């Protein structure tokens, strides 16, 4: 792919120039240069400096024209006002890649935004690609390239990182080293004036060194492309994302229920689910769960074995696993009998296996774990309490008087053992293992697990959540084929309805027109007729058959129940006449009424379409009726959606049990419901004039969904 090729060139330079480095150790440019020099880059580094002859021991050049060659990559760390002419000079000599650390562009206002656009124009003029501005550089462990301000630590890893915050690339090396986490490649994308987050995601999706990808996201500028790229990667390689900035405070108010509840957080949540991206809530999980997914064998089921030396952590793991969609099934009697001679007589053996503070670590971490893995009864293991040297260090002050002449170093040296078989178990068996431990890398077990790619978390719940995300990726791998739906041609009757409303300068369609339009695209609606007088309403009711509903039908009355213009379960002519009069009084002016077949049903759903300036049209599904705002049980996806995604939406709401057989009611016809969701999702693409659709309620009559009320808002 084109994106992969230009980023491969940018990530693998043969030579680098830097503008802004000096011999002053307090300058950022100097720190960036030191990282390039000291972390193993084996090509030439060309400092550009107006007065210094040498910078950090490297020959310096006073101008771009003095360079012995056009460097593959140039790093800019200088004030923004000095950048444009130098940027153009590198373009003229043939440099094709740049990293602009320099800040002071669109993040500071309109003038900075104009300067940023000028940089893009210069880059296009010379065929250059660049990361930034306002970024912190990149890391490529495959070629020992580090252009950030902090040194690399530890060996190359398998976790790729793309961040819209420079901190999470440039200031985390010590944090990651303490947790045994090692990156393959990392990119701080900054303002994304040229290279953006999706470009790097696509590149890492093809990178053989990278086995999982973590994304720190504050905004996705091209939602359709992100969805397309991520959807291709996630069935083959896990992608984890943390999104910041989507609180309810940032939600856009809309005229319909659907639009009013579509906060950015809801839309990002739906986007990630649709793309197969695993969402996490903290940067700690972004690294830790990303590392687990990058290093553990792909899990094949959701049966998890729990092995612990303490009851409390075992219970915490079990509870968290259940919340994550995993099972901790009781072990068979045959497996319990194999475990019985390995544990104290009082120790539980049924899953969790609880050794009750046994200090025989070989039995817990090797013999029992190996036995459970070989049983065929688990797909993964969460193990808590493996410890040795760290624990001895903690208790040594109490033991010292009983061991005269022995130092802590002596005790630790005597207690160290060969645990290589234990730490290799997940790779030998193909069964992933996650560790929970209260001791860090001072303990031999923690250190060797981490050094062998077995993730160690500092609490039982974190370890269990990580195992849950391994199961989540299994479900993503096993998803049904998700082909983008074909958008049907527009219906002439629908075009006429919209044209009439536009000609009348309406902002929305009345209920009758909205449902007639939906009917054009196969959405089930009740039989109904529009009436301008009481007599017409009575005749319409007689033609439809009692009981009927009578509702005020005016595009300016958006929420009819609150306005008092809805009358239900009318069983005779007199009731229709009374309802007509009451509606005119409530409206305060003459309004037509809609006489509709009375649809019976106790379950009320919502299906809708909303529009966001960033996401475009999104389809919504959830609980409708009077509980819409109270429960806020609505899920969103970027429109249009396939039938597969529509079925996933149905299963995504918290109250999905209401859709199955419930209190004598049959299961909702899920295929029909998914078809309605899909059809609604396509209407915005068919008719650009439509901004929002709100079907609320979509009433379940027996097992069949029927749109008994609808609102369509025009752009």
Kindly list the domain boundaries of the chain, sorted by start residue: 2-210, 296-477
CA 249, chain centre distance (Å): 20
Give the Cα separation of 676 and 98 in Å (integer): 49
Confirm if 152 and 174 have CB atoms less than 8 A apart. Answer: no
So what's the pLDDT on residue 121? 98
* Listed residue (190, 146, 151) closest to 167, CA to CA: 190
So what's the pLDDT on residue 257? 42
According to DSSP, the residues that pair with 603 across neighbouring strands are 700
Q: What is the per-residue burial (b if ≥16 Cβ within 10 Å, else e) of 572-583?
A: ebebbbebbeeb
So what's the pLDDT on residue 611? 95
So what's the pLDDT on residue 122? 98
Give the Cα separation of 114 and 198 in Å (integer): 23
Counting as low any pLDDT under 70, the low residues of the chain are 1-4, 246-263
297-348: per-residue pLDDT in tens?
A: 999 999 999 999 999 999 999 999 999 999 999 999 999 999 999 998 888 8
Q: Do domains 2-210 and 296-477 have the same CATH topology?
A: yes
CATH assignment of 2-210, given 3.30.70.20, 2.30.40.10, 3.40.640.10, 3.40.50.720? Answer: 3.40.50.720
- Determine the straight-line distance between the first and last CA of the chain, rounded to whole angstroms: 37
* 308 sits in which H/E element: strand 304-308
Give the Cα separation of 580 and 597 in Å (integer): 16
Beta 212-217 vs 239-243: how paired, if at all?
parallel
pTM assigned to the model: 0.93
So what's the pLDDT on residue 627? 80
Omega into 697 within 30° of 0, i.e. cis? Answer: yes
CA angle 578, 585, 537 (to 5 degrees): 40
345-403: per-residue pLDDT in tens?
A: 888 889 999 998 777 899 999 999 999 999 999 999 999 999 999 888 888 889 888 88
Give the Cα separation of 18 and 300 in Å (integer): 48
88-100: per-residue pLDDT in tens?
A: 999 999 999 999 9
> Which CATH fold topology does 296-477 show?
Rossmann fold (3.40.50)
DSSP of 139-193, one letter per residue?
EEGGGTEE-SSS---SS--SEEEEESSTHHHHS-HHHHHHTT--EEEEEE-TT-S
So what's the pLDDT on residue 254? 39
* 241 sits in which H/E element: strand 239-243
């Amino acid at each position: 792919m084109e994106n992969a090729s230009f980023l491969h060139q940018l990530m693998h330079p043969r030579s680098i120039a830097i503008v802004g480095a000096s011999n002053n150790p307090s300058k950022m440019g100097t720190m960036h240069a030191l990282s390039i020099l000291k972390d193993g880059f084996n090509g030439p580094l060309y400092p550009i400096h107006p007065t210094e002859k040498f910078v950090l021991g490297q020959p310096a050049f006073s101008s771009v024209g003095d360079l012995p060659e056009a460097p593959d990559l140039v790093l800019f760390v200088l004030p923004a006002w000095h950048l444009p002419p130098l940027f153009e000079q590198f373009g003229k000599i043939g440099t094709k890649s740049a990293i602009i650390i320099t800040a002071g562009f669109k993040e500071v206002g309109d003038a900075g935004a104009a300067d940023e656009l000028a940089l893009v124009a210069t880059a296009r003029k010379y065929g250059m690609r660049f990361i930034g501005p306002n970024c912190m550089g990149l890391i490529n462990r495959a070629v020992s390239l580090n252009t950030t301000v902090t040194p690399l630590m530890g060996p190359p890893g398998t976790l790729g990182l793309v961040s819209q915050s420079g901190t999470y690339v440039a200031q985390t090396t010590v944090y990651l080293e303490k947790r045994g986490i090692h990156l393959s490649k990392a990119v701080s994308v900054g303002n994304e004036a040229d290279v953006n987050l999706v470009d790097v995601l696509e590149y890492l999706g093809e990178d053989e060194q990278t086995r999982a990808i973590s994304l720190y996201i504050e905004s996705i500028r091209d939602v359709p492309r992100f969805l397309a790229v991520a959807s291709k990667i996630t069935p083959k390689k896990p992608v984890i994302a943390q999104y910041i900035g989507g609180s309810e405070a940032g939600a856009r108010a809309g005229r319909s229920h659907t639009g009013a509840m579509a906060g950015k957080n809801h839309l990002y949540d739906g986007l990630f689910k649709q793309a197969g991206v695993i969402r996490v809530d903290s940067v700690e999980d972004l690294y830790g769960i990303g590392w687990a997914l990058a290093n553990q064998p792909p899990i094949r089921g959701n049966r998890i074995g729990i092995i612990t030396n303490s009851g409390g952590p075992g219970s915490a793991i079990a509870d968290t696993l259940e919340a994550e969609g995993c099972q901790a099934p009781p072990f068979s009697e045959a497996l319990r009998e194999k475990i019985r001679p390995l544990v104290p007589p009082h120790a539980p053996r049924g899953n969790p296996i609880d050794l009750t503070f046994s200090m025989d670590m070989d039995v817990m971490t090797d013999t029992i774990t190996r036995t459970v893995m070989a049983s065929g009864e688990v797909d993964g293991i969460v193990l808590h309490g493996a410890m040795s040297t760290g624990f001895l260090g903690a208790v040594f002050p109490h033991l010292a008087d009983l061991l005269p002449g022995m130092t802590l170093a002596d005790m630790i040296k005597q207690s160290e053992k060969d645990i290589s078989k234990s730490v290799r178990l997940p790779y030998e068996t193909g069964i992933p293992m996650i560790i929970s431990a209260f001791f860090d890398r001072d303990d031999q077990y923690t250190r060797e697990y981490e050094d062998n790619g077995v993730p160690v978390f500092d609490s039982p719940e974190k370890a269990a959540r990580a195992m849950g995300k391994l199961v989540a990726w299994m479900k993503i791998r096993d998803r049904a084929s998700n082909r983008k739906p074909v958008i049907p041609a527009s219906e002439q009757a629908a075009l006429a309805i919209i044209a009439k409303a536009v000609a009348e300068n309406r902002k929305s369609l009345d209920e009758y027109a909205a449902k007639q339009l939906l009917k054009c695209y196969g959405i089930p609606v009740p039989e109904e007729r529009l009436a301008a007088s009481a007599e017409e309403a009575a005749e319409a009711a007689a033609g439809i058959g009692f009981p009927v509903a009578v509702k005020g039908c005016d595009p300016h009355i958006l929420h009819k129940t609150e306005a008092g213009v809805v009358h239900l379960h009318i069983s005779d002519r007199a009731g229709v006449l009374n309802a007509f009069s009451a509606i005119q009084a409530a409206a305060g002016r003459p309004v037509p009424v809609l006489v509709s077949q009375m649809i019976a049903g106790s379950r009320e759903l919502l299906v809708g379409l909303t529009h966001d300036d960033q996401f475009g049209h999104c389809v919504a599904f959830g609980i409708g009726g009077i509980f819409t705002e109270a429960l806020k049980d609505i899920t969103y996806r970027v429109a249009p959606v396939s039938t597969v995604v529509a079925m996933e939406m149905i299963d995504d709401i918290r109250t999905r049990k209401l859709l199955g057989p419930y209190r004598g009611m049959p299961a909702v016809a899920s295929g029909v419901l998914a078809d309605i969701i899909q059809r609604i999702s396509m209407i915005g693409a068919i008719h650009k004039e439509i901004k929002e659709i709100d079907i609320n309620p979509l009433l379940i009559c027996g097992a069949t969904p029927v749109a008994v009320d609808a609102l369509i808002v025009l752009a």
